[in-house]
Amino acid sequence: MSCASFLYVNIEGGVGLISLDHVSKSFGPKKHGERLTVVDNVSLHIEQGSIHGIIGASGAGKSTLLRTMNLLERPEEGQVYIGGQELTMMRERELREARRKIGMIFQHFNLIGNRTVEGNVAIPLELAGVKKDERIARVHEYLRFVGLEDKAKQYPAQLSGGQKQRVAIARALANEPQVLLCDEPTSALDPKTTSGVLEVLRHVNEALKITIVIVTHEVPVVERLCTAVSFMDSGRIVRTLPIREGSLPPDMLAWYEEQEAGDDER
Ligand SMILES: Nc1ncnc2c1ncn2[C@@H]1O[C@H](COP(=O)(O)OP(=O)(O)OP(=O)(O)O)[C@@H](O)[C@H]1O
């Protein structure tokens, strides 16, 4: 099927910003031995302006799927489109440009320990060749946005986990992306800190109109934050649905609890 037929309109009548079209990714030796298929023929459309959760048990392939969306993992099969542009067709230079429109945050924040908070937020702007005055203005704008302007001169080791994740969010926002990819952003945080980070992500979505894709294994994260969710198992998307009234439908909640229980037994 050609992507043009489904790129912009989905079943909800919304606009699709990210589309994966029959995407597969495997790991392991190419010549000998068994390759492990981690993302298995996934087609998925993420609506512009949405907060789309991807939930599944450990090893389901969630992080790998997320990483195909900015081609940190290049799929062997299928196409990836963002904003109508096919990333999988791009040469390295074009891809670098396109990636500036896709921010990413991680479970363990990935801050540079020997750089201050403002130095960390400045990194993507330095890489993009943004001039110094503009860089300083943007660093402070986004530190203010995440409520950490007063920590600009501190180092990551002086911050709490929640503050580190907010610095990582400011860094991801500095290039003014259209999309923010979040890989288990609250898994290393306690419940109270999780709430604060979820509030910041909601603010990112509402105030800056940035589409968010969030990988998690926490049902409350999906119920409190997401507008849509995809359930993932063994490399496949089992079901995608909108979140209504902040709760997962009982059948999918039961399905997920079973997956997690199986995970604990393994
Ligand atoms: N670079 C890699 N090389 C080899 N195997 C990999 C690589 N990345 C992931 N895998 C394997 O792919 C499978 C899925 O990993 P992935 O991290 O995508 O799952 P996940 O659903 O995000 O799991 P978790 O919730 O535990 O992070 C795992 O078995 C993992 O070991």
DSSP codes of every residue in 139-194: HHHHHHHTT-GGGTTS-GGGS-HHHHHHHHHHHHHTT--SEEEEESTTTTS-HHHH
The ipTM, to two decimals, is 0.97
Cβ contact 149:117 at 8 Å: no
Whether residue 158 sits in one domain with residue 90: no
**Pairing relation of β-strands 102-105 and 179-183?**
parallel
Domain CATH for 92: 3.40.50.300
What are the backbone dihedrals phi and psi of residue 209, each rounded to the nearest 5 degrees, phi first? 60, 35
Q: What's the pLDDT tens digit per position in 224-256?
A: 999 999 999 999 999 999 998 888 999 999 999
Whether residue 165 sits in one domain with residue 197: no
Domain boundary among 176, 199, 233: 176
Of 259, 235, 252, the closest CA to residue 23 belongs to: 235
Q: What's the pLDDT tens digit per position in 176-215?
A: 999 999 999 999 999 999 999 999 999 999 999 999 999 9
Q: CB neighbours of 261 closer than 8 A, spacing ≥ 6?
A: none
So what's the pLDDT on residue 138?
97
Whether residue 191 sits in one domain with residue 156: no
So what's the pLDDT on residue 2?
36
| Average pLDDT of span 143-152 | 97
Around Cβ 94, how many Cβ atoms within 10 Å? 12
Whether residue 115 sits in one domain with residue 164: yes
Distance 26 CA to ligand 1 centre (A): 10
So what's the pLDDT on residue 16?
73
**Percentage of the residues of the chain whose pLDDT score is greater than 90:** 83
Domain boundary among 148, 176, 204: 176
Q: Point out the least confidently predicted range of 41-45, 76-80, 252-256.
A: 252-256
State whether the beta carbon of 210 lies less than 6 angstroms from ligand 1: no
Whether residue 195 sits in one domain with residue 74: yes
Average pLDDT, the chain: 91
| Average pLDDT of span 163-173 | 97
Whether residue 14 sits in one domain with residue 45: yes
State whether the beta carbon of 63 lies less than 6 angstroms from ligand 1: yes
Around Cβ 133, how many Cβ atoms within 10 Å? 8
Of 66, 165, 174, the closest CA to residue 108 belongs to: 165
| Average pLDDT of span 138-167 | 97
Distance 38 CA to ligand 1 centre (A): 7
Whether residue 216 sits in one domain with residue 85: yes
| Average pLDDT of span 138-153 | 97
Q: Which residue puts its alpha carbon closest to atom 16 of ligand 1? A: 61
State whether the beta carbon of 60 lies less than 6 angstroms from ligand 1: yes
Whether residue 154 sits in one domain with residue 38: no
Expressed as residue numbers, the domain containing 132 is 108-176
State whether the beta carbon of 59 lies less than 6 angstroms from ligand 1: yes
Whether residue 243 sits in one domain with residue 181: yes
Whether residue 213 sits in one domain with residue 141: no
Whether residue 83 sits in one domain with residue 187: yes
Name the token pair of 33. 């031995």
So what's the pLDDT on residue 123?
96
Q: What's the pLDDT tens digit per position in 109-126?
A: 999 999 999 999 999 999
Distance 128 CA to ligand 1 centre (A): 30
State whether the beta carbon of 124 lies less than 6 angstroms from ligand 1: no
| Overall domain count for the chain | 2
| CA torsion through residues 175, 220, 54, 265, sign | positive
State whether the beta carbon of 39 lies less than 6 angstroms from ligand 1: no
Whether residue 10 sits in one domain with residue 113: no
